[in-house]
Chain A
């Protein structure tokens, strides 16, 4: 036990002595949290909208005015012809083009129907889908207003339809994107820092030759690994704390669930990451190799975590792979506990899998650390 204490003391001394490392460990993740949470948004805003008005009546102008009034659209330009609109889209000046046909208002009044043609730049398919919904909503609003208008003009067939759905948004009433993103990004930062620090650590001692000196001492393998893990566990928890404070103070993220549960789970989770880090460290000879391998896993873990793309939409084989992604569980638990107020029984499957993962990875870390070559 005492021996472990001496390793921990030495690791902390080295961490705090390294004046260049401290800001990297604490300041950089906080800057990332603040910037990413504000910038990495999937909300589709400021859509570049153009139109071709072949009708030029009060009706068509009213329709365009509806787009102008919407906060989602930046009404850019009135294109004289479809051809000019096409070249504008090619140049990226416009993303959505609405073409109002000639006789739009005449058809609406006489035939009670008219077609609009809509062209959307769908290179980003997800955004295009959202843009389509926005346009449809505005056209529908316009539609119902016209119906009422026409009814007042005495057209009996046009009955106003007043079926409306009123959605209730649970857990994130204001549909604030940051409420969704901040817990996730915090997870990434805690993961990155702890993985990289632990991944570099043992291999660094290999590079400078001190590991050989430690290997000729009678130290036990588990003493060495525990002594190495513990300081980074503390660092990870400090990082989580600072991140949670920022989440509360700057982003006003609701924290419905138990803070204690969050920390309890985080401890198990960080042990998984540190186990992976030390495992990498044991199998590499240089910090450079360790860095590349850590990045390889980090990128896969992040992109398959369900943070940026829903896991449910992934192909089945990829969904199976995500079972081995610790970040997935941490993102789920953070969102469940922070936003939904989930209790221990709700996150029990995640806790169990993470615990199992921690045992396996740290077992591998102890096993792969060879005092004798």
Chain B
């Protein structure tokens, strides 16, 4: 096992009855890397991610996240990772501050730390006027930014983002990726799924999943050269079409 890897996946498989959602995938993600995890709807991205964050048991195979085995040490994995799901997952009936307090609290942060973090976060996002408003009343783009910040509260080493920019306008998407890069520069590992191929260009490396298998894994530049096309969009279409 390479100590430099944030995530190591070997022959990971998940079946639901006769259906194989994730079929024998293997890859590694280095520390500080921005790793794009691409694939069409139903390709098995979310299932694979759920196994990595320790809320879904793999059928077979090994996965190590932050040097912890996701099966035997799921709770240790959870201390080291942040997660933001494609479904918005803050409490709409709590204010921004109350959401931060709650999630900070259940990650076991001290009361004073929560206060400091809350101030920092509100300042960073420029949400002074909204801090005491219910999250449900915020526009989607802001909600996603708050959710991302909340997933960083406990200073995790690896951050899992499941389609974080779904349904968000282009300007907010750009800002969102700036936030992602800021965290990557701090040395955090980013594992992100997306459907936007322009976002794939921002990643250090991308994998493309098709029907439960990883069909391609390299830097965006190498992938474009390999498939003799100009954009990631074309790479994606080529791979997805080949299967059909």
Contact = CB atoms under 8 A, between A and B. Distances in A.
Interface stretch (B37-45, B50-58, B183-191): B50-58
B89 A209 contact: yes
A7 B105 CA distance: 8
Contact of A372 (B56, B87, B93): B56
A215 interface: yes
Given A3-B108, A209-B89, A216 B78 contact: yes
Contacts of A44: none
A216 to B, nearest CB: 4
B94 interface: yes
B190 to A, nearest CB: 16
B14 to A, nearest CB: 10
A19 B50 CA distance: 35
Nearest to A216: B83
Point out which of A10, A208, A373 has the most chain B C-beta atoms below 10 A from its C-beta: A10
Nearest to A217: B106
Interface in A1-40: 2-3, 5-7, 9-10, 13-14, 17-18
A218 interface: yes
Given A216-B83, A371-B74, A13 B107 contact: no
B101 interface: yes
Interface in A270-285: none
B121 interface: no
B83 A218 contact: no
A212 B94 contact: no
A213 interface: yes
A8 to B, nearest CB: 10
Interface residues of A, number: 25
B27 interface: no
A219 B92 CA distance: 21
B227 interface: no
A373 B57 contact: yes
Point out which of A13, A208, A213, A214 has the most chain B C-beta atoms below 10 A from its C-beta: A213
Given A218-B78, A218-B108, A210 B57 contact: no
Interface in A207-265: 208-210, 212-219
B81 A216 contact: yes
Contacts of A218: 75-76, 78-79, 107-108
Given A216-B81, A218-B107, A210 B91 contact: yes
B106 A215 contact: no
B142 interface: no
B42 to A, nearest CB: 18
A371 B105 CA distance: 18
Contacts, number: 79
Given A13-B94, A14-B93, A209-B88, A216 B105 contact: no
Interface string B59-98: 0000000000000001110110101010111111110001
A372 B57 contact: yes
A212 B151 CA distance: 13
Nearest to B92: A208
A319 B13 CA distance: 51
A208 to B, nearest CB: 8
B106 A214 contact: yes
A35 B57 CA distance: 52
B53 A216 contact: yes
Nearest to B147: A213
B102 to A, nearest CB: 5
Contacts of A371: 54-55, 74
Nearest to B101: A6
B103 interface: yes
B57 A219 contact: no
Given A10-B91, A10-B94, A10-B98, A216 B56 contact: no
Nearest to A18: B93
B106 A372 contact: no
Contacts of A213: 83, 85, 89-90, 103
Nearest to B80: A218
A218 B57 CA distance: 16
A307 to B, nearest CB: 36
A6 B89 contact: no
Point out which of B50, B56, B89, B101 has the most chain A C-beta atoms below 10 A from its C-beta: B89
A372 B54 contact: yes
Contacts of A6: 101-102, 104-106
A191 to B, nearest CB: 26
Contacts of B53: 216
Contacts of B105: 2-3, 5-7, 9
Interface in A195-217: 208-210, 212-217
A330 B107 CA distance: 38
B106 A212 contact: no
Contacts of B93: 14, 17-18
A249 B196 CA distance: 66
Given A3-B108, A372-B55, A217 B94 contact: no
A13 B81 contact: no
B87 A209 contact: yes
16 contacts: A6-B101, A6-B104, A7-B105, A10-B91, A14-B94, A209-B89, A210-B89, A212-B87, A216-B54, A216-B78, A218-B78, A219-B106, A372-B55, A372-B74, A373-B55, A373-B56
Interface of B: 50, 53-57, 74-76, 78-79, 81, 83, 85, 87-94, 98, 101-108
Given A6-B105, A13-B98, A213-B89, 15 more contacts: A2-B105, A7-B106, A10-B102, A14-B91, A209-B89, A210-B90, A212-B55, A213-B85, A214-B106, A216-B55, A217-B107, A218-B75, A218-B78, A218-B107, A373-B56
